[in-house]
Amino acid sequence: MKIQICYENTNGVEGFEVIETKYGLAALQEVTDHSSEEIYITECIDRMEYEESLKVLSLAVQKLRLNGKLSVNGTDLRSCCTLFVNDSIDSKQFSAVLKDVSSLQNCCEVEKILKSLGVLIDTSVIKGTTYEIKAIRQNG
């Protein structure tokens, strides 16, 4: 099973079952533990309260099977602020980034959270204001 976790279903990835978080985490909680070979969390943790975003990451790891792949992307707080402070983006662009955001984390914070949940970080990339982390579940 392959799962895409998103805030609302706008662009599903072909071959992935889409789980929306806009109305809660019930659908994600119903997925059988250790049943997914790949999970893609796309820009939904930015749109959730901080504690709920942590729960999504934890549930995603719980649903991954051993050696399963996890991809997480979102807005990198540090990059966003750095671009603004360095005048690389103006206040209008900064506001557009923050328009639908409930909480932001930086890439390093998300990596640390994922490591604490028992996954091995494979790659971590920041492009502009967006991070993408790819990880593998190594232990039970």
Q: Could you report the per-residue pLDDT of 14-53, keeping only the tens digit for each? A: 889 999 999 899 999 999 999 999 999 997 999 999 999 9
CATH second-level architecture of 2-137?
3-Layer(aba) Sandwich (3.40)
In terms of phi and psi (left: phi > 0; alpha: psi -120 to 50; beta: otherwise), the region of 19 is: beta
Q: Side chain identity at 107, as an amino acid letter?
A: C
Residue 122: pLDDT band by 50, 70, 90 thresholds? very high
Q: Which pairing describes strands 17-20 and 2-6: parallel, antiparallel, or unpaired? A: parallel
**What is the reported pTM?**
0.91
Q: Could you count the other beta carbons within 10 Å of the beta carbon of residue 12?
A: 12
